[in-house]
């Protein structure tokens, strides 16, 4: 396959040939047609317009898949979204343009539990579009309404409870318009009706960093929560008499027609392969791959002074410098997809959909992203059979191609 990234190609009618498309939960041999940043149905082009492609691209038998969607990422390439509040615009741009190398075409910049003034500073300045970079779907506010007993790396002095409904959230965040996901511990919410209000305003409510029982989780889901944040991490471990939030994967108290989704970190460190298999075999429909990556994502081995602690990258992992204490994930999304596929022996299509279709459905944006359906955004990636990214396209424009394809 040989192609050249052409930023002026967006208005052209482009035909991708000699490829296999991830469509209708399978790989099909077909051409992909793109125009004006959208994936189009070629039949009207043939029969009504009688037009031909301005450009034909031979994909050399590659897989064309929707671009990956990362719902939880704390930073990367030396940027920490929660800490670098004075340079947030440049920081988000740096991450957005870096992520396309890993096949990510849209993401939710994630803010961990922070002081109120940090939210008031960061949220109004969060970019909504980056030229040549992954699209920003909205902020994932992971906290501060979490349980201090499951705080993980979140600063305990900033943790809050929701005492006064939406007024508490507005006072904390300053605005809700830029927020797409809020992770909260259901036991930190005095009136669960606030979950209904958040969902009605278009925010996805996730449960995490929690000591919640299964009944606590079920009550939150009945009020509209639809996502579990990094399953198995920062929650009560599974117990046969009360399985906690993990039990939501097999609960019989979920409202009819409601899917409970769950993020899971398949970086080879945070979640054991057996746990990946348990989650996949228990509730495959709801599984979403997330990186939960930190600022050290994409950095070379060595010590890096980022945020409050010096970090050391070695052997593909991030540690607090001078120790063997892990401090976060640095596996990119394409690596997580490959690790997950190996661990579960799932199909190639399922591994891809866990990072595309499932997160899109969770955010209710599957008519725009996460599929190759006609009329959706032309955000897609070309992959080889080993699921390595060959090129990344956003709105029909090539924004990255692997060096071997030059």
Q: Is the dihedral of CA 358, 359, 360, 363 positive or negative?
A: positive
Cβ–Cβ under 8 Å, residues 235 and 150: yes
Rounded Cα distance, 192 and 205, in Å: 11
Cβ–Cβ under 8 Å, residues 376 and 38: yes
Whether the bond into 170 is cis, omega within 30 of 0? no
Task: Name the binding residues for Zn(2+).
Answer: 142, 209, 230
What pairs with residue 15 in β-bridges?
33, 56
| Annotated catalytic residue 292 | yes
DSSP assignment of 276-307, as one string?
HHHHHHH-GGGEEEE--B-TTTTPPSEEEEET
Rounded Cα distance, 346 and 359, in Å: 18
What Cα–Cα distance (Å) separates residue 196 from each residue in 293, 298, 354? Answer: 29, 38, 26
Task: Name the binding residues for substrate.
Answer: 153, 233-234, 241, 270, 326-328
Distance of CA 108 to the CA centre of its chain: 6
What pairs with residue 33 in β-bridges?
15
- Of these residues, 267, 292, 334, 377, which one is catalytic? 292
What Cα–Cα distance (Å) separates residue 107 from each residue in 59, 67, 69, 196, 202? Answer: 26, 10, 5, 24, 17
Query: Kindly report the CA angle at 307 between 152 and 149, in degrees rounded to 5?
Result: 15
196-217 as b/e: b if 16+ CB within 10 A? ebbeeeebbbbbbbbbbbbebb
Task: Name the binding residues.
Answer: 142, 153, 209, 230, 233-234, 241, 270, 326-328
Cα end-to-end distance, the chain, whole Å: 9
Count of other CB atoms within 10 angstroms of residue 305:
10
Rounded Cα distance, 165 and 193, in Å: 8
What Cα–Cα distance (Å) separates residue 21 from each residue in 53, 89, 99, 255, 384? Answer: 19, 35, 22, 34, 12
Rounded Cα distance, 182 and 229, in Å: 10
Catalytic residues: 292
């Amino acid at each position: 396959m040989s192609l050249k990234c052409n930023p002026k190609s967006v208005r052209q009618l482009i035909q991708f040939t000699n490829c296999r498309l991830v469509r209708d939960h399978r790989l099909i041999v077909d051409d992909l047609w793109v125009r004006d940043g959208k994936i189009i149905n070629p039949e009207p082009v043939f029969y009504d317009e009688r037009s031909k492609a301005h450009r034909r691209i031979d994909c050399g038998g590659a897989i064309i898949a929707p671009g990956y969607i990362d719902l939880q990422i704390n930073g990367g390439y030396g940027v920490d979204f929660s800490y670098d509040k004075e340079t947030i615009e440049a920081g988000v741009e740096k991450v957005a343009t870096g992520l396309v190398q890993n096949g990510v075409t849209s993401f939710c910049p994630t803010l961990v539990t922070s002081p109120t003034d940090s939210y008031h500073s960061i949220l109004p300045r969060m970019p909504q579009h980056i030229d040549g970079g992954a699209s920003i779907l909205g902020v994932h506010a992971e906290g501060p309404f979490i349980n201090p007993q499951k705080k993980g790396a979140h600063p305990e002095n900033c943790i809050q409870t929701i005492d006064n409904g939406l007024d508490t959230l507005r006072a904390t965040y300053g605005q809700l318009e830029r927020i797409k996901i809020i992770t909260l511990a259901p036991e930190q919410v005095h009136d669960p009706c606030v979950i209904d209000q958040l969902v009605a305003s278009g925010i996805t409510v996730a449960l995490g960093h929690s000591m919640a029982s299964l009944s606590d989780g079920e009550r939150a889901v009945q009020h509209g929560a639809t996502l579990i944040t990094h399953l198995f991490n920062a929650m009560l471990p599974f117990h046969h008499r009360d399985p906690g939030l993990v039990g939501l994967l097999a609960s019989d108290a979920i409202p009819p027609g409601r899917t409970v989704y769950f993020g899971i970190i398949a970086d080879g460190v945070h979640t054991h392969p057996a746990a990946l298999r348990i989650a996949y075999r228990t509730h495959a429909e709801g599984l979403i791959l997330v990186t939960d990556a930190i600022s050290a994502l994409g950095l070379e081995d060595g010590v890096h002074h980022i945020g409050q602690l010096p970090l050391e990258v070695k052997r593909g992992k991030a540690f607090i410098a001078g120790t063997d204490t892990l401090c976060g994930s640095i596996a990119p999304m394409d690596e997580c997809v490959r690790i997950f596929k190996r661990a579960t022996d799932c199909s190639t299509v399922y591994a891809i959909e866990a990072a595309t279709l499932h997160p899109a459905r969770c955010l209710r944006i599957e008519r725009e992203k996460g599929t190759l359906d006609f009329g959706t955004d032309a955000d897609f990636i070309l992959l080889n059979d080993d699921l390595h990214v060959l090129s990344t396209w956003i709105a029909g424009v090539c924004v990255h191609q692997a060096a071997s394809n030059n």
